[in-house]
């Protein structure tokens, strides 16, 4: 029988185990996907550790909000898809019962999108959540336009690197922020117009230097925490702050720039809207086609190494996405 990763109690990576479960045949409006690879995300770590934003039913809870594979079977009434089609799983809101950490998953047909030609299996597994989040926050919420200076925190991570590429695709000017001087050159190589290391520079002063004194038009922040007040000073008067994560679990300070328009962006809400999904998928597919958008993968594990993959995630140092091949 196909293998599935489950956990019966919350805790460290060692609570994850591989079991065999029968395939769930697709019902009306559903498809069965043979998974080829999936991504390991910080949300997976939170759920596994008992810090889920919503209750998780134990035992045999599952993980995995994104992945890629091939359509293996169609339920009654499904149109526009065929057996053998390569697809990407759009983020799964019911991941605790139908998570992507498996050899097969049965999902609603509207929870898959065509896999863009030109993406490898690993790239496709790394693609959807990070790029959707970056695009949604920057374009759908913050209204990023050509010429905008965009300050991107946690720029070495998956969303940060996706935001650099998307800003370049739109014609904006991405300015990357990292905690470590050692990462500056890699961020420039990744497409940032400038990079700021907070271990040697004040982020607001450095941003003004890179924007002729004006400050950033948009700040994309995945950190939050007590540094948010200082970060807000890097924006111009009337600028925009889009918050997409909470890498610093400490209470966030109130932004010190009172003129900011602030968006707390949660990509799952937009992923439930078919029109937004269609719009984002078209934009991302165009970026893949032109070569502007290309996921950054830090490390690839096999399914039997799922515990090691979570231990690696907990180190907090990935320079890109962690992928597990099935």
Cβ distance 192 to 155 under 8 Å?
yes
155 and 110 together in one domain: no
State the pTM of this model. 0.90
Q: Are residues 121 and 152 in the same domain?
A: no
Residues 108, 159: one domain? no
Q: What is the pLDDT of residue 250?
A: 87
Residue 165 belongs to a domain: yes
pLDDT at 318: 72
* Residue 294 to residues 245, 291, 306, Cα–Cα distance (Å): 22, 7, 24
Give the per-residue pLDDT at 94: 80
Do 93 and 21 lie in one domain? The reply is yes
Percentage above 90 pLDDT, the chain: 80
Domain span including residue 99: 3-127+295-325
pLDDT of 239 reads 97
Instruction: Give the total number of structural domains in the chain.
Output: 2
Q: What whole-number distance in Å separates Cα of residue 237 and Cα of residue 258?
A: 8
Mean pLDDT in order along the chain per 10 residues (326 residues): 96 97 95 97 91 84 96 97 96 82 95 92 95 96 98 92 97 96 94 96 97 98 91 96 87 86 89 88 94 93 98 84 95
* Same domain as 35, residue 95: yes
Q: Is the same domain home to 137 and 263? A: yes
Residues 123 and 18 in one domain: yes
Inside any domain, residue 91? yes
Please give the Cα distance from 157 to 42 (Å, whole number). Answer: 11
Note whether 75 and 200 are same-domain residues: no
Residue 282 lies in a domain: no
**Token pair 């490390």 is at which residue?**
299
Residue 157 lies in a domain: yes
Q: Are residues 109 and 135 in the same domain?
A: no
Q: Which pLDDT value is given to residue 188?
A: 97
Residue 291: the pLDDT is 93
What CATH number is attached to the domain comprising 141?
Answer: 3.40.50.720
Q: Is the bond preceding residue 223 a cis peptide, omega within 30 degrees? A: no
User: Residue 39: which CATH number?
Assistant: 3.90.180.10
Asked whether residue 190 falls in the same domain as residue 161, the answer is: yes
Do 173 and 62 belong together in one domain? no
88 with 215, same domain: the answer is: no
What is residue 317's predicted lDDT score, i.e. its pLDDT?
Answer: 67
What are the residues whose beta carbons fall under 8 Å from the beta carbon of 212, sequence distance 6 or more?
Answer: none
| Inside any domain, residue 19 | yes
Residue 315 lies in a domain: yes
Residue 276 covered by a domain: no
Domain assignment of residue 261, yes or no = yes
Q: What is the pLDDT of residue 252?
A: 84
């Amino acid at each position: 029988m196909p293998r599935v990763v489950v956990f019966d109690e919350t805790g460290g990576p060692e609570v994850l185990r591989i079991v065999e479960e029968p395939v769930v045949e697709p019902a009306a409006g559903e498809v069965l996907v043979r998974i080829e690879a999936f991504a390991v995300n910080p949300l997976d770590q939170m759920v596994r550790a008992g810090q889920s934003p919503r209750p998780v039913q134990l035992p045999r809870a599952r993980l995995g909000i994104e992945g890629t594979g091939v359509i293996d079977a169609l339920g009654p009434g499904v149109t526009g898809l065929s057996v053998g089609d390569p697809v990407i799983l759009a983020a799964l809101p019911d991941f605790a019962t139908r998570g992507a950490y498996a050899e097969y998953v049965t999902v609603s047909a509207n929870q898959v999108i065509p896999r863009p030609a030109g993406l490898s299996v690993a790239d496709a597994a790394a693609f959807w959540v990070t790029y959707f989040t970056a695009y949604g926050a920057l374009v759908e919420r913050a209204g990023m336009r050509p010429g905008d200076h965009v300050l991107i925190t946690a720029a070495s991570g998956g969303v940060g690197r996706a935001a650099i590429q998307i800003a370049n695709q739109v014609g904006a000017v991405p300015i990357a922020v990292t905690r470590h001087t050692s990462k500056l050159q890699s961020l420039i190589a990744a497409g940032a117009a400038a990079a700021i290391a907070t271990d040697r520079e004040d982020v607001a002063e450095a941003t003004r230097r890179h924007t002729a004194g004006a400050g950033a038009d948009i700040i994309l922040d995945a950190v939050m925490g007590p540094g948010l007040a200082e970060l807000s000073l890097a924006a111009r008067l009337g600028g925009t702050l889009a918050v997409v994560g909470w890498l610093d679990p400490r209470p966030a300070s109130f932004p010190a720039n009172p003129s900011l328009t602030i968006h707390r962006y949660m990509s799952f809400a937009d992923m439930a809207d078919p029109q937004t999904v269609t719009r984002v998928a078209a934009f991302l597919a165009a970026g893949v086609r032109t070569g502007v958008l290309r996921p950054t993968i830090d490390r690839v594990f096999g399914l039997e190494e799922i515990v090691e993959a979570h231990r690696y995630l907990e180190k907090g140092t990935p320079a890109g996405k962690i992928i597990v091949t099935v």
